[in-house]
Chain A
Amino acid sequence: MGNSGSQKISVGNAVRYGDLWTKLSMILMGAGMFGHQQKIKGAFVFLIEIAFIVYMIGSGIHNLVMLPGLGSVEAGEVYNEAKGIYEYTQGDNSLLILLYGVITLFVIAAIIVLWILQMRHSYKLQKDLEAGRHVPTFKEDLYSLINGNLHITLMTLPCLGILIFNIVPLVFMISMAFTTYSKEGNHLMLFDWNGMTQFYRVLNMNGNIGRQFWHVLAWTIVWAIFATFLNYILGMVLALVINRKDTKAKGFWRFCFVLSIAVPQFVSLMVMNIMLQPHGAVNVILQNLGWIAEPIPFWQDAMLARITIIVINLWVGIPYTMLQVTGILQNIPSELYEAAEMDGAGPVTTFFKITLPYMLFVTTPYLITSFVGNINNFNVIYLLSGGGPTYVGDTAGQTDLLVTWLYKLTIDQQYYNIGAVIGILTFIVLTVVTLVTYRNSSSYKNEEAFM
């Protein structure tokens, strides 16, 4: 480091101290490799640059130019007198303009990253050659892809998949939150940027959408707390009861509970939904037994629907918890229990003083994941109550979570911008919850507690 700053491999140094080839690769990408004994690699990088330029001239520049305005030509209807029908003229499609614009931005970002990498690489090659160090040949580079650089071979495809089918769509959806893209005001074909307007609307407690949002948010959090912790504690109790020394036929009991996981969730949930209808099996059988006079409105009464959902979710979730905690429960040092027994502690005390603290300590990551999973628990709500009952004039039902509401807003109602805002807010809620619980968890504060 001492003698000069030129030792560090960086883009700045490459520009300042690079030789002809390195400097040339500022414009002709790959030139630095081509000139420094890595001809094939250099040619390959250069081809990528050519492809990029062709793409930009062909459509990229057009996409970028259209992005700020999102198009303005309306699709029209022209009466064709000769045929006696209305003919449609093709207008701009803001959605596609936005999508292609976002994709073009990603392509540009990728080429910038590649440019930086190849600049650094050229400079490194130059330095290596100056110092008389060996420069890997193309063959050696290929070999390193199955050895030292195996991660590149293994992770390129998965990363591309994630980039194209997760990150790009997410950015695209997020950008929708700042537009007027919605069925409201007939903005499905042509829409414009309108900044934070939709955020104000959703967060404003006095407006219709805002009132629904806070309502849904409150229920989402209540639901997630109940669903996570009830399942967790009851599942653990069940596992403990089955694993008791004196319980007979452990395998049989476990099998009974696990069987319910083995049936696909959407099948069992749809069956439950049908069974609990006013004329469904449960009501009919209860009426025949003479226990009730009127059908119980499981899905028609807001409060009852919420309770029903939480209870059915116990049916769905307890076996999972049981399976997942069984192994960990058996890892609890038995000395702890023996000591507790010596001191005369009953099973309840033991559970709250030993089992629960130990489990909370070990399984905090699992709890966080399952909390996040419950906030995003689409299946249970959508298949059981469908978010209902819904009051007239609302888009959100009384049991809708943020996710199911998001689904309804985008797929059913086509209020895409509000849907996108809800998605972003859900993400923010989840991030806050995750960070707060993680930072306050004992496994973060005190890693050695149980070791």
Chain B
Amino acid sequence: MSTMVKKNAPSARKTAVNVLVHLLLALLAFVWVMPIVWIVLTSFRKEPGSYVNTFFPKGYTVNNYVKLFTDRNVLNFPKMFSNTLIIAIVCCLISTFFVLSVAYSLSRMRFKFRKPYMNIAMILGLFPGFMAMVAQYYILKAMGLTEGSMIRIALIIVYSACTGLGFQIAKGFFDTIPKSIDEAAIIDGATQWQVFTRITIPLSKPIIIYTVLTSFIAPWVDFIFARVICRANADQFTVAIGLWNMLQKEYINQWYTCFAAGAVVISIPIAALFLYMQRYYVEGMSGAVKG
């Protein structure tokens, strides 16, 4: 009885709740979107400097973008952009291969080293990431990779060498692919390699896209390792170091609006990729939790 009354009577209350919820969402959405709008507005702002007293710029210009891509004297952004692009492409290839290989081996093959490997990976994950950074730098130096254009190779190694530790999400995904498919193929005479390349990989498009994109993005957003390894070699800087430098005391007044422009320029492709892979991201996560 009581449920019947509850369902019919308070439709006015229900509308009120709905209005309230939507207002709340609108407010929250405003808070979340506002800083992004701010960056975009700043990137088109005419007056330079970081300190302004109005939310909306007084004048608009595209010169910030023009300066960013043409001024090669102080901070050579075009060069940084091409450096990062090269590093990102190579890293992305190596990392994807590493992650998929390790994930497939751990998910499908059974060998003695399997459990120890997963435990070691978990333990290594508990160390602060850049605790090894100083030592990595000296190892790379001993290999002669910290001077001139070899720095690029050093950065590629730093970003991709340890990616075999990040297998969890991909493994979780592979675990959800039914084993009976593999078994059928093996009965038909396929090798494990063929199962991997012709069956598992084509079935794993979401997780491959996820892996490719996350490893492609890493070099664009890392400023910690890049700064330690590049040190003062300005012609090897990546985009992240460049943007970081633009906000330091000596540059901020000249470069603040260009920083915003740079931020927009690298955010657009990353945002587009991210929005595209969002559903894969969710699928990957729920796969990982299940596994």
The interface of chain A, by Cβ under 8 A from chain B, is: 95-96, 99-100, 143, 146-148, 150-151, 153-155, 157-159, 161-162, 164-170, 172-173, 238, 241-242, 244, 246-248, 253, 255-268, 270-272, 274-275, 279-281, 284-285, 288, 315, 319, 323-324, 326-328, 331, 341-342, 344, 362-363, 365-366, 372, 376, 378, 402-403, 406-407, 410-411, 416, 420, 423, 426-427, 430-431, 434
Cβ A288 vs Cβ B135 within 8 A: no
The A contact surface, by secondary structure, is: helix
Known: A241-B24, A323-B281. A270 touches B247 (CB 8 A): yes
Cβ A155 vs Cβ B278 within 8 A: no
Give complex CA distance A167, B142 in Å: 17
Asked if B223 CB lies within 8 Å of chain A CBs, one says yes
Cβ B127 vs Cβ A280 within 8 A: no
Binary interface encoding of chain B residues 15-36 relative to chain A, with 1 for a CB under 8 A from any of its CBs, else 0: 0001001101100110111011
A1 nearest CB across to chain B (Å): 20
Chain B: interface residue total (CB-CB under 8 A): 90
Residues of B within 8 A of A323 (CB): 278, 281-282, 285
A399 nearest CB across to chain B (Å): 17
Q: What are 24 A-B contacts with C-beta separation under 8 Å?
A: A96-B142, A146-B192, A155-B102, A157-B98, A158-B101, A170-B124, A170-B131, A170-B135, A173-B134, A247-B22, A255-B275, A263-B39, A264-B267, A266-B223, A268-B35, A270-B247, A274-B50, A284-B53, A285-B55, A288-B53, A288-B54, A378-B128, A411-B134, A423-B128
A344 nearest CB across to chain B (Å): 7
Give complex CA distance A158, B106 in Å: 13
Asked if B244 CB lies within 8 Å of chain A CBs, one says yes
Contact residue among B6, B21, B136 (Cβ-Cβ distance under 8 Å from A241): B21
Residues of A within 8 A of B266 (CB): 264, 267
Give complex CA distance A230, B117 in Å: 33
Known: A260-B32, A266-B221, A372-B125. A326 touches B162 (CB 8 A): no
The interface of chain B, by Cβ under 8 A from chain A, is: 2-3, 6, 14, 18, 21-22, 24-25, 28-29, 31-33, 35-36, 38-39, 50-55, 98, 101-102, 104-105, 109, 111, 114, 117, 123-136, 138-139, 142, 157-158, 160-165, 191-193, 196, 217, 220-221, 223-224, 228, 240, 243-244, 247, 256, 259-260, 263, 266-267, 270-272, 274-275, 278, 281-283, 285-286, 289
Give complex CA distance A103, B22 in Å: 61
A17 nearest CB across to chain B (Å): 23
A2 nearest CB across to chain B (Å): 25
Residues of B within 8 A of A263 (CB): 36, 39, 263, 267, 270-271
Residues of A within 8 A of B50 (CB): 274, 280
Give complex CA distance A266, B105 in Å: 34
Which residue of B is nearest A429, CB measured?
Answer: B126
Contact residue among B29, B128, B283 (Cβ-Cβ distance under 8 Å from A256): B29
Q: How many A-B residue pairs have CB under 8 A?
A: 252
Cβ A259 vs Cβ B33 within 8 A: yes
B116 nearest CB across to chain A (Å): 11
Give complex CA distance A46, B132 in Å: 34
Cβ A147 vs Cβ B193 within 8 A: yes
Contact residue among B114, B125, B158 (Cβ-Cβ distance under 8 Å from A165): B158
Which residue of A is nearest B195, CB measured?
Answer: A150
Contact residue among B109, B129, B217, B228 (Cβ-Cβ distance under 8 Å from A151): B109
Cβ A427 vs Cβ B102 within 8 A: no
Which residue of A is nearest B275, CB measured?
Answer: A262
